[in-house]
Structures are given as structure tokens and as C-alpha cells.
Chain A
Amino acid sequence: MYSEKVMDHFQNPRNVGEIENASGVGTVGNAKCGDIMRMYLDIDDNGIIQDCKFKTFGCGAAVATSSMATELVKGKTIQQALEVTNKAVMEALDGLPPIKIHCSLLAEEAIHAALWDYAEKNGIKIEGLSKPKSDISEDEEEEEY
């Protein structure tokens, strides 16, 4: 059900782990499926993301999207990192099954949460970043027959 890229990132996840004294840490979850994602960012004085690590409790897609998201934000500026949307992550993974789209939202939201934490710690405001939700579960209506 998953693409080769998803399977690759699931089997060999990039950047798993923690960063000590990280510039920003964000944890978000989806109460509906129970999955939880945590992102660590190391941001230098020029606002470049030097390192990014993650830990995820979740399905195959959650692991793969967190792995891909860390790849996509590494070496980027904060503004560029904000452009790493769930769509971008999904495209980079050659797509996800419909029921797994929310997993990629978790990745986007986790990056935002880590950036928010960084901004708060440094007393700055990041253009275009609003306070992330800690629970992203949506109420999708299922079709009834």
C-alpha cells in the first residue's frame, strides 16, 4: 500500500534521535489515531537549520513523513522550512494512501511546533508562523451505507 520511497524511509529512517540543548523542540499528536511526533531543530545564529532530528510513535507513514521532513528542512532557512508543507513531504515520498494523508500533516505541524518553540525561547516572531495545534485530529465524516 506504500510507495517504494515511503518504505525506504520507513526501513531506513533518516535523522532519528534527539538533539541536546536543541534550539527548538516540538511535539504534536493526533488523538484520533494516537500517533505522536517530536522534532528537534538546531538553528545557528544566521537562522539556518543546521540539524534536525525526530522521534515518532506512529504508523509507517508517520515514520516516513517525519524522516522525509527532517531531510527537507536540513540546511534551510527558517522561512524555507516554513515552505515544507505536508504536500511537499507527500510529493517527495511519491504520495500516500488517502487515509494516511493526515500523517504528513503531523510532520508539517511538528516542524512548526519546533519553530514556534525556537521563537518563544528567543523572544522573536517568525513571519507567517501561527501557534501550532498540539492535537491535529480532524473529524472526518465517514460515509454511511
Chain B
Amino acid sequence: MSKMVYLDNAATTKTSAEVVEAMLPYFTEYYGNPSSLYGFASHNKDAISKARKTIADTIGAKEKEIYFTAGGSASDNWALKATADLLGEKKGKHIITSKIEHHAIMHTCDYLAKKGYEITYIDVDENGVIKLDELKEAIRPDTILISVMFANNEIGTIQPIKEIGAIAHEHGILFHTDAVQAYSHIPINVDEYNIDMMSASGHKFYGPKGIGFLYIRTGVKIGSFVHGGAQERKRRAGTENVPGIIGIAKAAQIAHEHMSEWNDKEIAMRDHLIDRILDEIPYSRLNGGRDNRLPNNANFSFQFVEGESMLIMLDMKGICASSGSACASGSLDPSHVLLGIGLPHEIAHGSVRLTLSDETTMEDIDYTVDALKEIVAQLRSMSPLYEDFVKKQNNK
């Protein structure tokens, strides 16, 4: 393809060259099994321990509180199911979460619900911020876990994590947060934010895919998720993904070194994008608040047009974006997040998510806005909803 503008960094990011370089020796040179006795393999053991320390330092945790997993979904599944196992009989079967979680949380909750757990889904306001008073009211004596995502993957809304954690702890309830979109993008400190468990995933911040971690606070005694060998302090069996672990740690280190620089750059581009779209495309709206959102996320709805058509036309212009309309992703229902913030179906269907990276340029943004202007106008000209709307306007 000639020109490509990649604006789907919330889906996944390019593994950075530095990360790949750090990983490579662990395929062909240091390929030993870290559990082996000989000196050749012990290098790997040290490398893993260093990587764990690097990551622990980024969130104010201890090295032994970081458990490597196969990614965000694996971490989310572990946190929820193992908490249910630990406390289901002892304390109760009630779990509180939000209406706008990622499917890794939602579908795990569905699974637990089938096993007899009761799940309360807390509403969000029009910007996607969880309603704290509803959260407080939902707490019961048998509540064992509150799980609320740090930042939303579709509309980028950052949740009041500190407050949610404080509420959980006031009531002696464990607090888990899915920080897959937030970790290594914005500062997180597990003590300051009252976090007991936290999920993260490497491929969302220029690291490799298929590697993530679950932070588990010391004293939280959830059991093993994958049974087998003694890896990960006997809590997650399986020969370590050494290159992946080296890669995620390298990516985290780079992201934390550059965090404020990248944030400033991305916020400037994101705000330019938002300003231009709202100014230049009529009947468009920004989903999620202007402030209090991830630096690299913008999500728009364009009235009278449908998401998949927009995505195909963007793709034809070399722009990779994603949609709030699930049409393109194998399910027909509109996004539960956009419905959760109160959008009617037909508006939720006409949504596009654009997520930037540190490699995005202002030219990319301007090119994308120009393309979107054309595409939206073209699709509106063939939309029966727009036709009806215009006729109604003319009859006024």
C-alpha cells in the first residue's frame, strides 16, 4: 500500500525496534529454560527477575507482586476467577463492575454468573465516568470484588480509580482494575490508587503481543490459574515467555522514560483532531469527555452514517481506524460502551475510534480529517436517514 496512516493503536501497537532488539538474543542465544540448573540458563532467570523489577518500579510495587501472563485477557480472567474461587464459599458471591468493561471482564463475569455469582453492573454518566454513589449503594456484605477498568478502550475515559479503591477498602473489599489501556500511557501507582490487582498487556505500549502481567498485592491470596510447574511463585505454571518478558519490560521502561513527552505530543494532536472534526463536520460528536481521557484516544459519532462503511472507505485511503459499530467485528450489536453512555442505536452505529501513537504526525491528522469530511459527506448523500432529516428541516 502506498500511504498508510495507522490510527488504531488502542487495538495494538507496532513493537518498537528497540524492544525487538532487546528480545532477539533470547530466541537464539539465551534460549535455556530459566528453571534449569546449569549456568547457561541462569542468565535467563536473572533477566526475568530484572524485568520484573523494572515493571514493579513503574507502578510502585514490589518485584514479587508482578506475575507475568499471556496478556490482558489472561490477567483479567485470573483476577476474577481466582478471587471467586478464593472467596466464593468463604465470604460471598457478589461482584461489582461497570457497564463499559472490556469483553475480557464482561464475558468472565457472564461465566461467573452462570456459576451462581451475582454481578452488579454500575452505570456510567454521559462521559463514561462510573457513578460513585451507585457503586457505594451496590456494596453488600457478600461483595467480594470490585473490578473497574482504569481507562476505557473505546472512548478513552479515565475512571476515578483512587476513589473507587478507597471505597472498596473502606468496606474490606478487594479492588481489581483492568489497566490494559492505561498502563505505560499515564502514571499509575498501586498504593496511591488503592489497587489490589491490576491487569496490563505488552502490545498496547509498543511491546510484544501475548505477554502481560497481573499485579497482585502482597497478602491477596488468590490461587493459581494455570496449574503445573513452579514458575511465577507457583501461581502461574508454564515455561516463561522469556523474549516476551524481556520485551514488555523494555517497552515499559521506554514508555515511562518518555511518558510526559509523548503525552504532550499526543494531546496536542488529539485536540487538533477533535477541534477540526467538531468544527468542520456538522452533526458530529465526541464520545467521552474532552478532559479526563487517554492522551491518544478520540472517538466520534457522525449522525446519519454507519461505521463499517466509514471504515472501509478510510481503509481505501490507507487509514486504519476502528468502529464503535460492532458490524465489522463479527457481531451486529452496537458497542455496549456507546450505548452505556446513552447514545441511541443509530448514532452508536456511526462511530469511529482514532487512537494515536508517538509516531503519528500532524500531517497524518490533517489527512485523516480531510478524508473523513469527504467520506461522511458521501455516505450522507446516500443515507435515507439524512434524506429524512433534510426534508424535515426544509418543512420547518
A59 touches B308 (CB 8 A): yes
A79 close to B (CB within 8 Å): no
Contact with B along A49-88 (1 / 0, CB 8 A): 0000011111110110000000000000000000000000
A37 touches B332 (CB 8 A): no
CA distance A111 to B333 in the complex (A): 25
CA distance A85 to B212 in the complex (A): 49
B308 touches A57 (CB 8 A): no
- Contacts A32-B332, A58-B309, A99-B332; is A11 near B384 (CB within 8 Å)? no
Restricting to B358-396, which residues have a CB under 8 Å from any CB of A?
Answer: 381-387
CA distance A58 to B308 in the complex (A): 8
Query: Could you tell me the distance in whole angstroms from the C-beta of A139 to the nearest C-beta in chain B?
Result: 11
B349 close to A (CB within 8 Å): yes
CA distance A62 to B327 in the complex (A): 11
- Contacts A59-B327, A99-B330, A99-B332; is A36 near B308 (CB within 8 Å)? no
Q: Which of B309, B345, B387 contacts A63 (CB 8 A)?
A: B309
B305 touches A57 (CB 8 A): yes
A56 touches B349 (CB 8 A): no
Residues on B with C-beta less than 8 A from A33 are: 327, 332-333, 349
Residues on B with C-beta less than 8 A from A18 are: 387
A interface, by DSSP: helix, strand, loop or mixed? mixed
CA distance A11 to B382 in the complex (A): 12
CA distance A7 to B384 in the complex (A): 21
Residue in B312, B328, B385 with the greatest tally of chain A CB atoms within 10 Å: B312
Query: Could you tell me the distance in whole angstroms from the C-beta of A81 to the nearest C-beta in chain B?
Result: 20
- Contacts A32-B332, A35-B306; is A57 near B383 (CB within 8 Å)? yes
Residues on A with C-beta less than 8 A from B348 are: 34
Residues on A with C-beta less than 8 A from B328 are: 59
Restricting to A18-45, which residues have a CB under 8 Å from any CB of B?
Answer: 18, 27, 31-38
CA distance A34 to B308 in the complex (A): 12
A116 close to B (CB within 8 Å): no
Query: Could you tell me the distance in whole angstroms from the C-beta of B305 to the nearest C-beta in chain A?
Result: 7
Q: Interface residues, chain A, CB within 8 Å of chain B?
A: 7, 10-11, 13, 16-18, 27, 31-38, 54-60, 62-63, 99
Considering the complex, give the chain B residue whose CB is closest to the CB of A55. Answer: B384
Residues on A with C-beta less than 8 A from B72 are: none
B308 touches A37 (CB 8 A): no
A34 touches B305 (CB 8 A): no
7 contacts between A and B (CB under 8 A): A13-B382, A33-B332, A33-B333, A34-B306, A36-B385, A58-B306, A60-B309
Q: Which of A10, A16, A27, A34 contacts B349 (CB 8 A)?
A: A34
Contact with A along B322-339 (1 / 0, CB 8 A): 000101101011100000
B205 close to A (CB within 8 Å): no
11 extra interchain contacts, Cβ-Cβ under 8 A, other than A27-B384, A34-B348, A54-B382?
A11-B316, A32-B332, A34-B334, A34-B349, A35-B349, A38-B387, A57-B305, A57-B346, A58-B309, A62-B306, A63-B382
Considering the complex, give the chain A residue whose CB is closest to the CB of B111. Answer: A145
A57 touches B306 (CB 8 A): yes
B309 touches A36 (CB 8 A): no
CA distance A43 to B332 in the complex (A): 35
Query: Could you tell me the distance in whole angstroms from the C-beta of B382 to the nearest C-beta in chain A?
Result: 5
B387 touches A55 (CB 8 A): yes
